[in-house]
Structure 1
Amino acid sequence: MRRERRVRSRTAAAVGVAVGAALLAGCGVGGGLQSAGRAPAAVGPALLWPELPPASAAPYDYGEGETARIPGIKVPDDDVHRLDPVAVVQAGLKAQPNRSSGTADLPAETVRLIGACRSDPASCPVLRPYFRDLTGDGKDEMVVGIRLPDHQLSVRVYMPEGGGLTRILSTSDAVISVQLAGRDLIMRAPSAITGYEYRTAWSWDSRQRAMLPTRDEILRTPPSPAPRPHTTTAEPTAKPSAGVSAERR
């Protein structure tokens, strides 16, 4: 629908330019606007293999749209800035069955390290949190990262709700970077194709009440900036003070 509206607006603009050019030419005004020709006609999508029945279920379960209420976590005034991210992650693990053997997105060794964050903080895989209003309700959510083996990262987003806490995003990937842009959380991951990367934007969906991957694309990696040539600055030559000869006799 948006593409059709853009095509119509471009067609109307082209017709307006052509009419304006004709009026200017009729008035004998030199150097007026000229028509660029006819605008290309809009081409609608062509349906391939219409006899195939549409699929009714997704072939894989990526876990998108799954949310979880975090038990035992109270959020006074719905202010997540007061929360301890380690306590939040530990509380979420306690609510999951078979946590000793790992969860759907956390291996057993990572679960063990999270449980030992108090006694061995240097090995704790829970990273410092970030805060951003991702749902548009005027209250910040808490974004937590958990280091995983093989340079992977688990990213979780927690939303304050009614004095408690709800996890609205849980995903894991081998990431290049994680960014907050407006109300989107953007994850960049390496691709098997040299010179390309995957980029996924997670956005809040009010109907599902979860963060969903609204944009998932493969893009060329930005070129690396050329290294600057190393230059040295000569030390300034000391000037002789007034009344003192610069030459020793």
Structure 2
Amino acid sequence: MSSRRLQRTALAVTAVALLSATATACGDTGALQGAGSTPTAVSPARLWPDLRPASSPAYPYDVATRAIVEGVRVPGDDIRRVDPVDVVEAEIKAHPDDYAGKGAYGGTPDRMKECRAGGDEARCPLLKPYYRDLTGDGKADLTLGFRLYPTNQTGVRVYTVEKHRLVQVLSDNDAIIGVELADRALIERSPADISGYEYRTTWVWDPHERAMTFSRDEYLHTDGRRHGKKPAPSPSPSVSPSASTR
């Protein structure tokens, strides 16, 4: 489970209360309403100016992941020619404690065998790969997703090519209901603890870290009842014509 899940749960009830109050204030009809007299603008007030800084971060966020993928060649530096199955199997090999025996995702290796020729495609956990330039170097990068067993979470990974090597620049596991690519950002949508809400986590390319770094975490209303509006459909991420699932 993502470390964010435990941190978010404590905030969920408070966020819903605030959003519900806002919805009530806006009214149910969607018609224009008078807001009354305009209050006098007040500048921000800085509280506790002598407060000492904390000795440790508030939350143990993994803000960036970067690792060279061992054992996977990149023919002609073209990431589209890399076999996604090889990439996932390389990760399994690199993290034996997570994927072997009683590890958190110990059921994944056996299912990955079904991704090879002659396997049961319905049991293969690998999702369709997507290709888009997320690093800004003018070349396509690889976004992979694969189901994790027995947790039924989804692993989301992003890879780029540097100096003829395949490099992982994003690694996140979570309960995910959707992923979007926007410019050089990747947005994950996850179910919230309360019906009608979801979490959206944004990762963006950071040229200094040379990785996709954690940028923003949102807690949003999604069921369309607020203000009588229906939620707008999310745009599908662009995919290279050459993208394939195997």
TM-score normalised by length of structure 2:
0.66
Distance 1:64 1:44 in 2: 29
**C-alpha offsets along residues 114-139 of structure 1, whole Å, 9 cap, x if unaligned?**
24532534211111200110111111
Alpha carbons 1:85, 1:128 under 8 Å: kept: no
Greater RCO structure (CA 8 Å; 6+ sep): 2
1:201 paired residue number:
202
Distance 1:59 1:38 in 2: 39
1:69 paired residue number:
68
Distance 1:215 1:131 in 2: 23
2:137 paired residue number:
137
Distance 1:102 1:182 in 2: 39
**C-alpha offsets along residues 70-93 of structure 1, whole Å, 9 cap, x if unaligned?**
112221332111111001111222
Q: Say which one has the larger Rg.
A: 1
- CA 1:38–1:179 in 2, change beyond 3 Å: closer, same or farther? closer
Unpaired runs of 5+ residues, structure 1, are 1-36, 227-249
2:220 paired residue number:
219
Distance 2:193 2:206 in 1: 30
The two structures, once aligned, show a CA RMSD in angstroms of 2.8
1:177 paired residue number:
178
- CA 1:55–1:101 in 2, change beyond 3 Å: closer, same or farther? farther
- CA 1:51–1:115 in 2, change beyond 3 Å: closer, same or farther? same
Percent of aligned positions with the same letter in both sequences?
Answer: 43
- CA 1:79–1:55 in 2, change beyond 3 Å: closer, same or farther? same
- CA 1:46–1:111 in 2, change beyond 3 Å: closer, same or farther? farther
**Number of aligned pairs?**
187
Distance 1:110 1:184 in 2: 27
Distance 2:138 2:209 in 1: 19
2:18 paired residue number:
none
What does 1:28-177 correspond to in 2, within 5 Å? 41=41, 43-48=43-48, 50-57=50-57, 59-60=59-60, 62-98=61-97, 99-101=99-101, 107-118=105-116, 120-122=119-121, 123-148=123-148, 149-177=150-178
Distance 1:102 1:50 in 2: 49
Measured after TM superposition, the shift of residue 63 of structure 1 is: 3.2
Q: 3-state SS of the aligned residue for 2:155?
A: strand
- Compare 206-215 and 74-83 and name the one that shifted more: 74-83
- Compare 204-213 and 71-80 and name the one that shifted more: 71-80
Measured after TM superposition, the shift of residue 47 of structure 1 is: 3.0
TM-score normalised by length of structure 1:
0.66
